[in-house]
């Protein structure tokens, strides 16, 4: 293989590239068909305030109920459509579906805030704010304040000024923003100050080992301090057990989501889950 001529190696590379592009095209086409056939679902994962023992909202997480492959997680299809116009179309579906769900829960007497993940390319659409305004207009009975948009810290950093402009324009509508997977994107303090996102979501890679690893605890501590200094909210993601709650509460991080509280679940399961949930006694003790 290494001894092949330059020309042959180029030919090989071309074939791989072509094949890869064909595959990407096929995936985008099957996402389009899946969307038309109503195969996408949103699952919801509760977010809680551990100190107050209250449910503060839910994060919408996309799933693909594929006719042959079964229930697919986002990692198996989203990366392949990033940069394709399908990513924006799917993102618009997610926003519309989340707004409809907020309305449906409201008719059941449940006033719940929902956060939605928006990809970098979708956020950078020239008409993103207009898309959002149109979707909010189409759901006049849903207060915009009940919708939060999560964007990855890493993608916010790609073009801080542009991201900040989009956040400011969309915030006028009443929607709020969170920086997702915070701590993985190396935002400088200057970048961070420029981004008017109300909430930082501490990446689950730092939260997972706080019980054993003092350095991870130190990272969480400095993110909480950063959030406090800039008057932002902070939430820990990936809280895998009840025991992870106490050290977070000790650092002043009151809010969390994770398998230790609840796994993502279909929308129908949310109202009964909320009705039955009570905060563990050890969190209330740690909050004193």
Residues that bind ligand C2E (CB under 6 A): 45, 61-62, 73-75, 78, 91, 94, 117-119, 150, 180-181, 204, 237-240, 258-259, 264
- CA dist., res. 81 & res. 88, Å (int): 9
Residue 174: name its binding partner from Mg ion, ligand C2E, none (Cβ under 5 to 8 Å by kind). Answer: none
- Name the residue whose CB lies closest to ligand C2E: 258
The residues with which 255 forms a beta bridge, in sequence order, are 49, 235
Binding site partner of 230, from Mg ion, ligand C2E, none, Cβ cut-off 5-8 A by kind: none
Give 6 or 38: the residue with its C-beta nearer to ligand C2E. Answer: 38
The nearest distance, CB 17 to ligand C2E, in angstroms, is 25
| Residue among 132, 121, 71 nearest 99 (CA) | 132
Selection from 106, 196, 126 nearest residue 160 by Cα: 196
Of ligand C2E, Mg ion, none, which one does residue 170 interact with (CB within 5 to 8 Å by kind)? none
Smallest distance, Å, CB 248 to ligand C2E? Answer: 13
Q: Which of the listed partners (ligand C2E, Mg ion, none) does 199 bind, with a CB threshold of 5 to 8 Å by partner kind?
A: none
Q: How far is it, in rounded angstroms, from Cα 42 to Cα 270?
A: 12
Nearer to ligand C2E, 151 or 224 (CB): 151
Q: Are 173 and 133 in contact (CB under 8 A)?
A: yes
- 190 alpha-carbon distance from chain centroid: 23
Neighbours of 143 (CB within 10 A): 14
Least Cβ distance, residue 80 to ligand C2E (angstroms): 12
Q: Do residues 168 and 136 make contact, with C-beta atoms less than 8 angstroms apart?
A: no
* Nearest CA among 210, 241, 242 for reference residue 224: 210
For residue 5, the minimal CB distance to ligand C2E (Å) is: 43
- Residues interacting with Mg ion, by CB under 5 A? 117, 150, 180-181, 237
**Partner whose binding site includes residue 240, from ligand C2E, Mg ion, none (CB under 5 to 8 Å by kind):** ligand C2E
Closest CA to 256 of 196, 203, 193, 183: 203
Instruction: Round to whole Å and give the CA distance between 179 and 193.
Output: 12
User: Residue 57 binds which entry of Mg ion, ligand C2E, none, with Cβ cut-offs from 5 to 8 Å by kind?
Assistant: none
Task: Closer to Mg ion by CB, 30 or 113: give it.
Answer: 113
Q: Which residues contact 202 (CB under 8 A, 6 or more apart)?
A: 182, 183, 220, 223, 224, 234, 235, 236, 237, 253
Residue 16 vs 37, nearer CB to ligand C2E: 37
- The span from the CA of 146 to the CA of 60, in Å, is 13
Nearest approach, Cβ of residue 120 and ligand C2E (Å)? 9
Whichever of 142 and 202 has its CB closer to ligand C2E, that residue is 202
Q: What is the DSSP letter of 142?
A: S
Nearer to ligand C2E (CB atom), residue 7 or residue 98: 98
Q: How far is the CB of 178 from ligand C2E (least distance, A)?
A: 9
For the bound state, the minimum distance from the C-beta of residue 68 to ligand C2E, rounded and expressed in Å, comes to 20
Please choose, from the candidates 122, 150, 169, the residue with its C-alpha nearest in 3D space to the C-alpha of residue 57. Answer: 150
Q: Which is nearer to ligand C2E, 1 or 75 (CB)?
A: 75
């Amino acid at each position: 293989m290494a001894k092949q001529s330059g020309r042959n190696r180029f030919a090989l590379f071309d074939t791989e590239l072509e094949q890869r592009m064909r595959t990407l095209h096929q995936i985008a086409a099957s996402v389009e068909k899946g969307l038309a056939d109503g195969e996408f679902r949103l699952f919801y994962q509760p977010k809680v305030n551990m100190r107050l023992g209250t449910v503060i909202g839910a994060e919408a997480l996309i799933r693909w109920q594929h006719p042959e492959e079964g229930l697919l997680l986002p990692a198996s299809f989203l990366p392949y459509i990033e940069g394709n116009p399908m990513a924006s179309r799917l993102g618009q579906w997610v926003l519309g579906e989340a707004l409809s769900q907020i309305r449906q829960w409201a008719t059941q007497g449940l006033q719940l805030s929902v956060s939605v993940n928006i990809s970098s390319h979708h956020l950078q659409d020239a008409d993103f704010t207009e898309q959002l305004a149109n979707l909010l207009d189409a759901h006049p009975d849903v207060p915009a304040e009940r919708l939060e948009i999560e964007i990855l810290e890493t993608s916010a950093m790609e073009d801080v000024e542009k991201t900040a402009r989009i956040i400011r324009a969309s915030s006028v509508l009443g929607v709020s923003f969170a920086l997702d997977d915070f701590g993985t994107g190396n935002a400088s303090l200057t970048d961070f100050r420029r981004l008017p996102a109300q909430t930082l979501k501490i990446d689950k890679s730092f939260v997972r080992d706080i019980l054993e690893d003092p350095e991870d605890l130190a990272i969480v501590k400095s993110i909480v301090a950063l959030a406090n200094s800039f008057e932002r909210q902070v939430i820990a993601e990936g809280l895998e057990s009840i025991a992870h709650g106490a050290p977070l509460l000790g650092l002043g991080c009151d809010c969390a989501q994770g398998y230790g509280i609840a796994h993502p679940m279909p929308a129908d399961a949310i109202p009964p889950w909320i009705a039955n949930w009570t905060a563990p006694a050890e969190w209330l003790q740690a909050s004193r």
